[in-house]
Chain A
């Protein structure tokens, strides 16, 4: 599946944690504002290539980083 996805967290603190883990794992990503249509949160989420979705969720599980959901955008 091509395109981009975002991984949403309950808190920007977790988005930071996730971005740090993704950086270490060398998985391309960017911290971006949370799309209003997806969440009411004030902070950020992490955008990545949808092709990496499996790797991203596996990494979150491995590092015990709780997340809300992954959405294709």
Chain B
């Protein structure tokens, strides 16, 4: 089996990730922060270690500003719905995933906000000039992804972040695709809130992710998405107002977080950290695109040759579902077809409503696997 669906979730996971999940479930088992017994303390220590690592990973000083969620979608819903109030205006891009677009649409339909969708260039990449033009007196937030889940296009985050900071506009960055590939320093990059998932480029288990708030940001401005048990202030029926408990109601996915912690260790253990990841993915992407262009009849890609391992493509005359089905059933190659939960992005790049086939490469993929995929695509495309 060849797995090229790493942009949906990475597979395989590093062995230290799966070992950590099994260790937690077989040797620890307890609920972190909910009791004083030794197993609960150990569980709490594992979660705290992960919190510290995530903080460092995004350039934060306070580990308390790391809020664990079940995925990037929950984090984005918390940030978007928690920050915005009636009359606010939001700027976003045409390249967004539905995890950004749908919460915005909900608030718009409820009469709470208005929002502007910026088209960007022909790859959907925004410019500072375009953002300046879109800022209105009521603009409170800019929410964009760091890296498109459809094409892999990367937004100029630092330039846009600096502009927004100077104009008093808050920035929410969806790092679902970029975390573990493109480094981010929330301070230097002028980002107020990062929403990430743990199960893609960070190589953790599904069901992990988080909302990270920059040091010094007034988190009182954000309402929690949910209230409930936190293990703190248990004599009170009101939600604690301090971090991270304000946003972390209910038992955490501690086994998953144990794995996520080791996923970050895995990335840090690579010879040059994220640079190693980038180099590997860039090499694979370039190799695949150049080889497919040469050998696969009707191959058209919507991604750049230079990129970080997210490649959308179509084969003229063939439906994307037919291509992915044949890749899976005849060749054992796993890929993703369709709109990738990002209909506006596909409109922007001209592939709506059919969508594309997407290959998402991980650090475990090889050139041999790409050779096999190109051979398979050549055969699939051959008769058309």
Q: List chain A residues, Cβ under 8 A from B64.
A: 13-14, 17
Interface residues on B, range: 20 to 34
Q: List chain B residues, Cβ under 8 A from A52.
A: none
Interface residues of B in 283-324 (CB under 8 A from A): none
Interface residues of B in 27-73 (CB under 8 A from A): 32-37, 40-41, 44-45, 47-48, 51-52, 62-64
User: Is B244's CB within 8 Å of the partner chain A?
Assistant: yes
Q: List chain B residues, Cβ under 8 A from A43.
A: 33-36, 40, 44, 231-232
Q: List chain A residues, Cβ under 8 A from B41.
A: 31, 44
User: Is B233's CB within 8 Å of the partner chain A?
Assistant: yes
Considering the chains assembled together, what is the distance between the CA atoms of A14 and B246 in angstroms? Answer: 13
Asked if A44 and B44 sit within 8 Å, CB to CB, the answer is yes
Asked if A42 and B240 sit within 8 Å, CB to CB, the answer is no
Interface residues of A in 8-25 (CB under 8 A from B): 10-17, 19-20
Interface string of B55-94 (1 = CB under 8 A from A): 0000000111000000000000000000000000000000
Interface string of A37-57 (1 = CB under 8 A from B): 000111110000000000000
Asked if A42 and B242 sit within 8 Å, CB to CB, the answer is no
Nearest chain A residue, comparing its CB with the CB of B232: A11
Distance in angstroms from A47 CB to nearest chain B CB is 11
Interface string of B216-239 (1 = CB under 8 A from A): 000000000000001111110000
Q: List chain B residues, Cβ under 8 A from A13.
A: 33, 44, 48, 51, 64, 232, 244-245
Interface residues on A, range: 20 to 34
Asked if B242 and A12 sit within 8 Å, CB to CB, the answer is no
Asked if B35 and A20 sit within 8 Å, CB to CB, the answer is no
Count chain B CB atoms within 10 A of each CB in A33, A43, A44 and give the residue with the most. Answer: A43
Contacts A17-B64, A20-B52, A33-B37; is A41 near B231 (CB within 8 Å)?
A: yes
Contacts A17-B64, A31-B41; is A41 near B245 (CB within 8 Å)?
A: no
Asked if B32 and A12 sit within 8 Å, CB to CB, the answer is yes
Asked if B45 and A16 sit within 8 Å, CB to CB, the answer is yes
Q: List chain A residues, Cβ under 8 A from B37.
A: 33
Contacts A14-B64, A17-B64, A20-B52; is A33 near B231 (CB within 8 Å)?
A: no
Nearest chain A residue, comparing its CB with the CB of B47: A16
Asked if A41 and B233 sit within 8 Å, CB to CB, the answer is yes
Asked if B232 and A41 sit within 8 Å, CB to CB, the answer is yes
Asked if B36 and A32 sit within 8 Å, CB to CB, the answer is yes
User: Is A2's CB within 8 Å of the partner chain B?
Assistant: no
Interface residues of B in 108-159 (CB under 8 A from A): none
Count chain B CB atoms within 10 A of each CB in A16, A17, A19, A40 and give the residue with the most. Answer: A16
Distance in angstroms from A38 CB to nearest chain B CB is 12
27 contacts between A and B (CB under 8 A): A10-B232, A10-B233, A10-B245, A11-B33, A11-B244, A12-B32, A12-B33, A12-B44, A13-B33, A13-B44, A16-B44, A16-B45, A16-B47, A16-B48, A31-B36, A32-B36, A33-B37, A40-B233, A41-B232, A41-B233, A41-B234, A42-B35, A43-B34, A43-B36, A43-B40, A43-B44, A44-B44
Q: Interface on A for B, CB 8 Å cutoff?
A: 10-17, 19-20, 31-34, 40-44, 64, 66
Besides A10-B245, A11-B242, 12 new A-B residue pairs in contact (Cβ under 8 A), listed by A number? A11-B33, A11-B232, A12-B34, A12-B231, A13-B48, A13-B51, A13-B244, A16-B48, A31-B41, A33-B37, A40-B233, A42-B35
